[in-house]
Amino acid sequence: MLAGKNTPIVGFAGRSNSGKTTLIEKIIAIFARQGLRVAVIKHMHHTFEFDVPGKDTYRHKKAGASSVVLASPAQVAMVKDTPQEYSLEEIVSRYVDDTDLIIVEGFKGARVPKVEVYTHQSGEPPLCASGESSFIAVATDDDIDVPVPKFKRDDADVIAKFISVCILKRRE
């Protein structure tokens, strides 16, 4: 298992449009209400523009800056070129601190405990049925036979309790 500076990590994986982001949003809100500081790392398969065209920081990046840091009294954000795609471990060690739980969206191949968000509409079998051992549960509304606990996709409270017991090691 990946050590996030000793911060517990749980991943959410699944095919496109399976409902990962919606479920993660609900899980974050539950843990935030409990006073936990949650960091989220989302894997993207393409480059992205983080800044607003025309603004100073956007112009700095377009002019050739390899890193641009936006800083205010309450927030810091960074856009940084990388020589290659960083592993999840590198991202955690370089950029994540002051957090009680790291939630990862994507990174299907990362060796962290993962909840699959599954829908049969993808036309593909569940990832957790492949025998890959890092899957600890599946969130689905479909009747599937898988070797891990199943939860309803919209049952964020129960999934958060499961994560608390399995990942955070605390009883609710």
Q: What is the DSSP string of 68-102?
A: EEEE-SS-EEEEE--SSPPPHHHHHHHH--S-SEE
Please give the share of the chain, as a percent, with pLDDT higher than 90.
53
Q: Are 37 and 100 in contact (CB under 8 A)?
A: yes
Instruction: Give pLDDT, residue 70.
Output: 80
Taking the CB of residue 60, how many other CB atoms lie within 10 A of it? 16
- Domain extents for the chain? 9-46+92-166
At 47, is the pLDDT very low, low, confident or very high (cuts 50, 70, 90)?
Answer: low
Asked whether 170 and 13 are in contact (CB, 8 A), the reply is no
- What pLDDT sits at residue 6? 84
pLDDT in tens, 72-125: 899 888 888 888 888 899 999 988 989 999 999 988 888 999 999 999 988 888
User: How does residue 49 score in pLDDT terms, banded at 50, 70 and 90?
Assistant: low
Q: What is the pLDDT of residue 3?
A: 42
Q: How many CB atoms lie within 10 A of CB 162?
A: 19
- Return d(Cα 119, Cα 117) in angstroms, integer: 7
Secondary structure letter of residue 52 according to DSSP: P
The chain-wide mean pLDDT, for the chain, equals 88
pLDDT for the residue numbered 172: 60
Per-residue pLDDT, 58: 82
Q: What is the CA radius of gyration of the chain?
A: 18
CA 107 to chain centre: 8
Q: Tell me what pLDDT residue 19 has.
A: 92
Instruction: State yes or no: pLDDT of 11 exceeds 50.
Output: yes
pTM: 0.87
Question: 9-46+92-166: which CATH number, 3.40.50.11740, 3.40.190.10, 3.40.50.2000, 3.40.50.300?
Answer: 3.40.50.300
- Are 145 and 151 within 8 A, CB to CB? no
Q: What angle do CA 136, 102, 89 make, to 5 degrees?
A: 90
